[in-house]
Structure formats: C-alpha cells, structure tokens
Amino acid sequence: MKFTEEHEWLRPEGDLVVVGITEHAAQQLGDVVFVELPELETQVAKGDEVSVIESVKAASDILAPCDGEIVAVNDALVDSPALVNEDPLGEAWFFKMRIDDMSVLDALMTEDEYKDFIA
C-alpha cells in the first residue's frame, strides 16, 4: 500500500489501483453518514475532486491521487457509509482507477512514512 498527504491509501491490483481513505482520516471525520462516488469511466487528473464524504463533523473531498480513469466504484458505501469507519483499509474502498503511469506510486509514502507523517 501507498499513502498520500491527503490521507488516502492506494493498493495496486494488477493494472488497477484501489483507492480509499486511511483509518486516521476516518477517525478524524467521525461517524460517516454519506458518500458520493464518482461516475464510471471518468477521466481524472491528480488533485481533481472525485468523491465527497460527509460525517457528523464535516464534509471532505476525496481527491484523485494520480491521473487516470475511474473503472469501478464501491456501491456498498452508498447504502452503508458507516463501512468507512468500520473497515477503512478493507471493505470501504472508494474506487478503482486505471492510472496512466504506475511509476507515480513510487513517489507516495510507505506505511511507515505515513505513520511518521501523522505522528
């Protein structure tokens, strides 16, 4: 897994990347009550707003961690947004992307680097 400074995690799966938010981000948000997912086949650029997550405390944007195309979304989050709090690194993935250049993942943080970042 790789991590961004925006508290997203990325997990490569073949030629795709699965994207979600970190446990730290889920704890900071509090109880998640709504998730808006991106449209399939949407082309995104790094930094584009892709999803919206709302909790009892705040609303936050999920940004595209890299350039690519949205190829799958986790519809379970629409019906059960609390999954984000229950299993942020597993069942609560937000979307899958086909990214233009897998080498961009090399510039992201490792788990240990992320732990140091949030410390």
Q: Is residue 118 part of a domain?
A: no
Q: What is the pLDDT of residue 114?
A: 98
DSSP the chain: -EE-TTSEEEEEETTEEEEEE-HHHHHHH-SEEEEEPPPTT-EE-TT-EEEEEEESS-EEEEEPSSSEEEEEE-THHHH-TTHHHH-TTTTT--EEEEES-GGGGGGSBPHHHHHHHH-
Condensed to tens digits (0 to 9), the pLDDT of residues 25-70 reads 999 999 999 999 999 999 999 999 999 999 998 899 999 999 999 9
Q: For residue 54, is it within any domain?
A: yes
User: Does 44 map to a domain?
Assistant: yes
Residue 61 lies in a domain: yes
Residue 71 lies in domain: 2-101
Q: What are the pLDDT digits (tens) for 77-89?
A: 999 999 999 999 9
Q: The domain that contains 64 carries what CATH number?
A: 2.40.50.100
Single pTM value for the model: 0.94
10 occurs within a structural domain: yes
Percent of the chain exceeding pLDDT 90 equals: 95
pLDDT of residue 100: 80
Q: How many domains does the chain have?
A: 1
